[in-house]
């Protein structure tokens, strides 16, 4: 092979084939979804995120949650995702139309979070878990997200947003733990994660 | 295929030696800039890796600061070693190989010096960006836009330079290493710009992002690091042994089959995920077809070294390079097996994949880069490595370190994967299975880091021209059968 043009053209064409298949095809076919209106309930699916949850999506990215948590319920025959109760159906491309960046994930050091809002709908549970993960979930190696919380001196009454810590509570006497705006946003996003709504292309599997 | 050693009849071996020395000298500043910064980022990347690994052993470690949380330290590690270390080491090696193989002194070195500066500012901004919370959480593309833009500018300068070098090359044979380098230098800017535009600058909907993400992630390994690693092995193995590559035709087959099949591999990272079945199947098929380039290259390299394995005893370059080339075969065969859905269902989402990534990027690519540095730096600096003992320590620390890391992550990952597969085993039990293996992984990381510190010391001493003046290269063995490896070879 002593002809430069042959090498350059070959290198160009082989790569172009994958660019067409794995980039152009997804661009035109997996990234042009619109939401579906459920005829029975009138719900828009997937539902739009609140402004706070949208901000929480960015906190999720900034904290790097994806390095331990996936957000995909795989097809039947691929693992125990459905049997573990991580969702009522496998997820499809439309489920992610409002996600950017998308948090599909490649690691399960922690459980899948596709539908964590359905499993744990309580905001207080999430705050407790983010602040003291090993207390809420014994054996967990999730780090504490203490940096998203403020230790504030109680002046007069305890503030309404302060989180109820479980023992051992090492907060100094007269102080309280209050979520920052970012913590509130992250929890709003986590609570919003519920993809058990119906979609025409994703029927629930028979039990 | 002995063309790299061939020269017109009118050129005497002495003239050829002088010319090689001039070519080597012309690459000095750019090569030292890329290599020096690569070693710096290797040390930073190792420290970030250790911290991330320790945090999985002891999650309360340094958890009061957001910028040292696990979810930032881990991608900071990956980007420091992928862009700061491996890419810069690969670029440094490629520059030198291009000058040597185009048989012309390096031209327009200002372009490269500019590129090295942009590249390092980009990596620095990127790492600080990730740690301060600007990371994008897109695997392999975590750098915020202000950092990836700098890398792109740097790469643009390098690509322009590469085209100029090819234009001014001495006419004649194009060696196999040049095919790979040319391809890598055309593929990577295309890959990097497409992925950054569709994921970071003008993000498309989430449903399509996963496909673009893994098209990029897998091709960074397959069409950037792999061609540079193979180009280096194809040059260094015959060079050190003084014999030609076994088969020209196997080289051609290996090259084109890699170009065609590797680029289609990416979707095997998404098996079972929310994508059309044909897309995943295409990648599974392409992954299995990778058997052709992998086995072709393995046979070609093996047959070249065959009968000369004793050379591994004396040549540091050859020992690191052959270690890397063998691990290329291992990593690729393992990768093929992991793309088969019935095995993928066990290994996906586990530390097994992390082990595989280190087998590819470290045991294959990084080891070949070490081999290249041991060969190239003395020629560029005009000074031999100061101590064979340091090189020996470096080799054994990293060889044992990476071997241990891959084994413990593979075993821990298999236990984790089998537990995850069985819904009767609690999730927490799948995590408990990994804990002892993650502890051993930290130990292996300490060995690797120690090896990197030894290498950095050796590297610094060489740049300072420390130690006695040597007329012969620094080799391991003192045995009588070692062959001389002249400086200008």
Bridge partners (DSSP) listed for residue A199 = A202
**Cα–Cα distance for residue pair B211/B219, rounded to 1 Å:** 12
Give the start-to-end residue ranges of the domains of chain A.
36-192
B21 shares its domain with B122 = yes
Cis peptide before A37 (omega within 30 of 0): no
Judged against a pLDDT cut of 90, whether residue B7 lies above it is answered with no
Residue B411 belongs to domain spanning? 308-320+332-489
Nearest to B109 by CA among B210, B34, B184, B4: B34
B228 shares its domain with B339 = no
CATH number, domain of B147, equals 1.20.210.10
Å from B150 to nearest chain A CA?
A: 21
- Residues of chain A positioned with their CB less than 8 A from the CB of B348: 79, 106
The mean per-residue pLDDT over the stretch A136-154 comes to: 96
B380 shares its domain with B243 = no
CA within 13 Å, CB half, B397: 18
* Domain final residue, candidates B112, B146, B173: B173
B90 shares its domain with B71 = yes
Which of A1, A77, A136, A205 is the best residue to mutate to test the B interface, defined by the most B CB atoms within 10 Å of its own CB? Answer: A1
**Nearest-by-Cβ selection for A2 from B71, B174, B190:** B174
Q: What H or E segment, with its residue span, contains residue A175?
A: strand A175-179
Å from A159 to nearest chain B CA?
A: 23
First to last CA, chain A: 60
Domain-embedded: residue B326: no
Å from A25 to nearest chain B CA?
A: 9
Cα B14 to its chain centre, rounded Å, is 35
Judged against a pLDDT cut of 70, whether residue B172 lies above it is answered with yes
B52 shares its domain with B107 = yes
What letter does residue A39 receive in the DSSP assignment? T
Contact criterion met (CB < 8 Å) for B190 and A15 = yes
Domain-embedded: residue B178: no
Domain-embedded: residue B5: yes
Bridge partners (DSSP) listed for residue A177 = A151
The model's pLDDT over A49-60, given as tens digits with 9 standing for 90+, comes to: 999 999 999 999
For residue B1, what pLDDT is reported?
Answer: 36
Bridge partners (DSSP) listed for residue A151 = A177
Q: Within the 180-199 window of chain A, which residues sit less than 8 Å (CB to CB) from chain B?
A: none
Over its C-alpha atoms, chain B yields an Rg (Å, rounded) of: 22
Average pLDDT, chain A: 94
B447 shares its domain with B301 = no
Is B396 in the A-facing interface, judged by CB distances under 8 Å?
no
For residue B167, what pLDDT is reported?
Answer: 83
Domain-embedded: residue B16: yes
B14: buried, middle or exposed (CB in 10 Å: 19+, 13-18, 0-12)? exposed
Given a contact cutoff of 8 angstroms between Cβ atoms, the answer to whether B92 and B474 are in contact is: no
Q: Which residue has the tokens 């006695």?
A: B468
B148 shares its domain with B275 = no
Which of B131, B172, B210 is the best residue to mutate to test the A interface, defined by the most A CB atoms within 10 Å of its own CB? Answer: B210
Nearest to B39 by CA among B463, B334, B484: B463
Count: domains in chain B: 3
Cis peptide before A48 (omega within 30 of 0): no
Domain A36-192 sits in which CATH superfamily? Answer: Cytochrome c-like domain (1.10.760.10)
**Cα–Cα distance for residue pair A37/A44, rounded to 1 Å:** 5
B278 shares its domain with B384 = no
Is B51 in the A-facing interface, judged by CB distances under 8 Å?
no
Plot region of A102 (φ>0 → left; ψ -120 to 50 → alpha; else → beta): beta
- The complex scores an ipTM of 0.95
Given a contact cutoff of 8 angstroms between Cβ atoms, the answer to whether B147 and B123 are in contact is: yes
Asked whether the CA dihedral A72, A77, A78, A79 is positive or negative, the reply is positive
For residue A117, what pLDDT is reported?
Answer: 97
- Residues of chain A positioned with their CB less than 8 A from the CB of B64: 146-147
Bridge partners (DSSP) listed for residue A152 = A176
B231 shares its domain with B314 = no
Pairing of strands A175-179, A149-153: antiparallel
The model's pLDDT over B395-434, given as tens digits with 9 standing for 90+, comes to: 999 999 999 999 999 999 999 999 999 999 999 999 999 9
The model's pLDDT over B345-400, given as tens digits with 9 standing for 90+, comes to: 999 999 999 999 999 999 999 999 999 999 999 999 999 999 999 999 999 999 99
Domain-embedded: residue B327: no
| B243-249, Cβ contacts within 8 angstroms, sequence gap of 24 or more | B243/B304, B243/B308, B244/B1, B244/B2, B244/B5, B244/B304, B245/B1, B245/B176, B245/B300, B245/B304, B246/B299, B246/B300, B246/B301, B246/B303, B246/B304, B247/B1, B247/B299, B247/B300, B247/B303, B248/B1, B248/B176
């Amino acid at each position: 092979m002593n002809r430069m043009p042959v090498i350059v053209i070959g290198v160009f064409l082989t790569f172009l084939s994958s660019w067409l298949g794995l980039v152009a095809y997804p661009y035109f076919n997996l990234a042009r979804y619109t939401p579906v209106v459920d005829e029975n309930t009138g719900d828009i699916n997937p539902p739009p995120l609140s402004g706070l949850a949208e901000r929480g999506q960015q906190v999720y990215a900034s904290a790097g949650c994806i390095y331990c948590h996936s957000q995909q319920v795989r097809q039947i025959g691929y693992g125990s995702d459905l049997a573990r109760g991580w969702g009522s159906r496998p997820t499809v491309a439309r489920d992610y139309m409002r996600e950017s960046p998308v948090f599909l994930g490649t690691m399960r050091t922690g459980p899948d979070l596709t539908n964590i809002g359905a499993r744990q709908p309580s905001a207080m549970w999430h705050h407790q878990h983010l602040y003291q993960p090993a207390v809420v979930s014994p054996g967990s190696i999730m780090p504490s997200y203490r940096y998203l919380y403020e230790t504030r001196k109680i002046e007069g009454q305890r503030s309404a947003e302060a989180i109820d810590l479980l023992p051992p509570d090492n907060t100094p006497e007269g102080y309280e733990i209050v979520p920052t705006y970012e913590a509130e946003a992250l929890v709003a996003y986590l609570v919003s994660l519920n993809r058990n709504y119906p979609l025409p292309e994703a029927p629930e599997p028979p039990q | 295929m002995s063309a790299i050693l061939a020269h017109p009849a009118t050129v005497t071996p002495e003239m050829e030696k002088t010319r090689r020395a001039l070519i080597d000298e012309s690459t000095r500043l750019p090569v030292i800039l890329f290599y020096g910064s690569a070693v710096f980022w290797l040390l930073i990347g190792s420290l970030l890796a250790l911290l991330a690994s320790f945090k999985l052993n002891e999650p309360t470690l340094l958890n009061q600061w957001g910028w040292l949380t696990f979810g930032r330290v881990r991608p900071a590690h990956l980007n420091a070693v992928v862009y700061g270390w491996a890419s810069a080491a690969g670029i440094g090696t490629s520059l030198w190989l291009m000058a040597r193989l185009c048989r012309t002194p390096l031209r327009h070195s200002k372009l490269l010096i500019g590129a090295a500066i942009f590249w390092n500012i980009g990596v620095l901004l990127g790492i600080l960006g990730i740690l301060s919370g600007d990371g994008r959480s897109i695997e392999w593309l975590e750098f915020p836009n202000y950092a990836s833009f700098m890398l792109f500018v740097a790469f643009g300068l390098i690509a322009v330079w590469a085209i100029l070098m090819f234009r001014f090359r001495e006419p004649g044979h194009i060696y196999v290493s040049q095919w790979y380098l040319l391809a890598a230098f055309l593929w990577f800017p295309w890959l990097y710009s497409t992925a950054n535009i569709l994921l970071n600058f003008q993000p498309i909907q989430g449903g399509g992002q996963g496909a673009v993400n893994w098209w990029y992630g897998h091709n960074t390994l397959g069409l950037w690091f792999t061609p540079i690693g193979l180009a280096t092995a194809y040059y260094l193995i015959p060079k050190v042994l003084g014999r030609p590559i076994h088969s020209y035709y196997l080289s051609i087959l290996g090259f084109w089959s890699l170009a065609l099949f590797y680029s289609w591999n990416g979707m095997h990272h998404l098996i079972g995920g929310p994508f059309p079945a044909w897309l995943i199947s295409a990648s599974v098929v392409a992954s299995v077809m990778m058997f052709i380039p992998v086995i072709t290259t393995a046979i070609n390299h093996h047959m070249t070294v065959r009968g000369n394995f004793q050379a591994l005893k004396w040549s540091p370059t050859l020992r690191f390079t052959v270690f890397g080339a063998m691990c290329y075969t291992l990593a690729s065969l393992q990768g093929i097996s992991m793309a088969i859905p019935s095995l993928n269902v066990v290994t996906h989402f586990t530390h097994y994949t992390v082990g595989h990534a280190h087998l590819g990027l470290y045991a294959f690519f990084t080891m070949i880069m070490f081999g290249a540095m041991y060969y190239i730096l003395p020629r560029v600096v005009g000074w031999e490595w100061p101590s064979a003992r340091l090189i020996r320590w470096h080799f054994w620390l990293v060889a044992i370190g990476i071997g241990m890391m891959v084994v413990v992550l593979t075993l821990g990952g298999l236990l984790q994967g089998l537990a995850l597969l069985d819904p009767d085993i609690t999730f927490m039990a799948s995590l408990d299975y990994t804990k002892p293996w993650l502890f051993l992984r930290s130990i292996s990381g300490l060995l690797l880091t120690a090896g990197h510190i030894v290498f950095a010391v050796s590297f610094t001493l060489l740049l300072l021209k420390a130690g006695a003046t040597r007329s012969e290269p620094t080799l391991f063995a003192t045995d009588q059968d070692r062959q001389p490896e002249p400086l200008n070879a």
